[in-house]
A and B are shown apart, each in its own frame.
Chain A
């Protein structure tokens, strides 16, 4: 009993540390990549290649004065960023970042919470993430913030539908709500050559899910809640210092978690195709699995960053139109086609 708890605790600590570091460095990566795209240099002063920039940023944010607007609702104003970050980090609990690893004679599953409703857990938590933004917008007592949070909640509630329905396709193919089962199911091969990743099995669902995931993480082209030219800072207009920093971290944590979910559900998770054809030791296999997962997540993350610096932002009604008139029917169509094919294959 104690042993199980201890292992879980160690896993949580390691994952949290890695995740937070990754968050900090994804900010750095975003700045460098955007600089590259825009023909600038980007942060390159702090440490070699500016690699210590995230630390400098955090230190700066910590020492900034925390200003709360006079008519703001202080308890909720303080609570909002905490909710945002917590929800983003908590979602990572059910994502398998490797198969199993044998350490000191103990077989450890590389997933924090091995629950049998992992997919539903992700959906539930992504629906909770609305609260951080909604609270921030309302408690700031600022019209721009309020509009940002209104947009955000409308957007998230709308796109959650497509997100959920797109996942239904994956669940139908897998026949389970367990995420490790989803990954295991993708280790097969289609026609003996193509890895049976769900992005090949479920192309419509994959596209729908990726677009909805962009919308859920409030990334360009769906970053209306914080659309700078329109709403100044959107829901975090009135935040300063570390509280702003938490929102900032939460945004990138959401990105990383979304990349991890996309990887797990559609890109084969920790599975490296064709590796099972050569003979490697189980230990090496585990490490390769973790590395594969990290690399896949990084690639999805880079994709998100490049998208942000390439295309403009949607307008509110266009966003809603896309969500309800395109994504929603597409996700339904995907379920229908998947069901039909499954029925025919039976």
Chain B
């Protein structure tokens, strides 16, 4: 087993293992933190695939942004420890069926697809290529996504904002 394979399996196990903790932990805080390790593992896998930009973006966006929000949402929920997570005893049969179908579909797709295998080689940095594509070919999708996020943010602010002037007059 060479070094590459060692690191691949190490991070693969980390990713899948922490994902299991996310699903099965009864403490929702621990779930949230296990998710952090899942994200880290995925980022490491990206690095192994020479996708350095995607890897760091994964850290920046998921670990640094989204997960912080999730964790704070969880932390600020009152009575964190007493939240009972239903671990499937209620909907055991439908859940199993559904999971099995999805798993089957994924395995089928994996095996049936004619994967485009690239020769093993040292790759240059991907940043330049991604940047060029984003501002040339995919400029419209990027802008649309940006506007969509902006709209979502304004909506969130509108919902969260409260009128403090009302309080002061009391």
* Residues of A in contact with B (beta carbons under 8 Å apart): 73, 76, 115-117, 120-121, 123-128, 130-131, 134, 138, 146, 150, 153, 157, 160, 177
Contacts of B56 in A (CB 8 A): 117, 120-121, 123-124
**Among the listed A116, A130, A134, which residue makes an inter-chain contact with B125, where contact means beta carbons less than 8 Å apart?**
A116
For B124, the closest partner residue in chain A by CB is A116
For B164, the closest partner residue in chain A by CB is A317
Question: How far, in whole Å, are A123 and B127 apart by their CA atoms in the complex?
Answer: 15
* B60 and A127 within 8 A (CB): yes
Question: How far, in whole Å, are A106 and B97 apart by their CA atoms in the complex?
Answer: 61
Whether a CB of chain A sits under 8 angstroms from the CB of B65 is: yes
* A157 and B65 within 8 A (CB): yes
Whether a CB of chain A sits under 8 angstroms from the CB of B48 is: no
Q: Give the Cβ gap from B107 to chain A, nearest Cβ, in Å.
A: 33
* A134 and B52 within 8 A (CB): no
Whether a CB of chain A sits under 8 angstroms from the CB of B36 is: yes
**Among the listed A124, A130, A153, A177, which residue makes an inter-chain contact with B59, where contact means beta carbons less than 8 Å apart?**
A124
**Among the listed B52, B53, B59, B72, which residue makes an inter-chain contact with A127, where contact means beta carbons less than 8 Å apart?**
B59
Contacts of B72 in A (CB 8 A): 134, 150, 153
For A130, the closest partner residue in chain B by CB is B68
A-B contact pairs, 30 of them (CB 8 A): A73-B29, A76-B29, A76-B33, A116-B52, A116-B127, A117-B53, A117-B125, A120-B53, A120-B56, A123-B56, A124-B60, A124-B63, A125-B59, A126-B64, A127-B59, A127-B60, A127-B65, A127-B68, A128-B63, A130-B64, A131-B68, A134-B68, A134-B71, A134-B72, A138-B29, A138-B75, A150-B72, A150-B76, A153-B68, A177-B127
Closest 10 CB pairs of A and B: A127-B64, A124-B59, A120-B56, A116-B125, A124-B60, A138-B75, A124-B56, A117-B52, A117-B56, A130-B68
Contacts of B87 in A (CB 8 A): none
Q: Please report whether the interface of chain A is mostly helix, strand, loop or mixed according to DSSP.
A: helix
Q: Give the Cβ gap from B63 to chain A, nearest Cβ, in Å.
A: 6
Question: How far, in whole Å, are A120 and B60 apart by their CA atoms in the complex?
Answer: 8
Contacts of A128 in B (CB 8 A): 59, 63-64
Question: How far, in whole Å, are A123 and B33 apart by their CA atoms in the complex?
Answer: 21
Whether a CB of chain A sits under 8 angstroms from the CB of B99 is: no
For B43, the closest partner residue in chain A by CB is A124
Q: Give the Cβ gap from B93 to chain A, nearest Cβ, in Å.
A: 35
For A121, the closest partner residue in chain B by CB is B56
For A164, the closest partner residue in chain B by CB is B60
Question: How far, in whole Å, are A341 and B29 apart by their CA atoms in the complex?
Answer: 49
Question: How far, in whole Å, are A76 and B32 apart by their CA atoms in the complex?
Answer: 12
Whether a CB of chain A sits under 8 angstroms from the CB of B57 is: yes
Contacts of A123 in B (CB 8 A): 56, 60
Considering only residues 23-67 of chain B, those with a C-beta below 8 Å from chain A are 29, 33, 36, 52-53, 56-57, 59-60, 63-65
* B127 and A117 within 8 A (CB): yes
Instruction: Name 16 extra pairs, CB < 8 A, besides A117-B52, A127-B60, A130-B68.
Output: A116-B127, A117-B53, A120-B53, A120-B56, A121-B56, A124-B56, A124-B59, A125-B59, A127-B59, A127-B63, A127-B64, A127-B65, A127-B68, A128-B64, A150-B72, A160-B64
For A75, the closest partner residue in chain B by CB is B30
Question: How far, in whole Å, are A77 and B56 apart by their CA atoms in the complex?
Answer: 27
Contacts of A130 in B (CB 8 A): 64, 68
Contacts of B36 in A (CB 8 A): 131
Question: How far, in whole Å, are A131 and B32 apart by their CA atoms in the complex?
Answer: 12
Question: How far, in whole Å, are A341 and B125 apart by their CA atoms in the complex?
Answer: 26
Contacts of B64 in A (CB 8 A): 124, 126-128, 130, 160
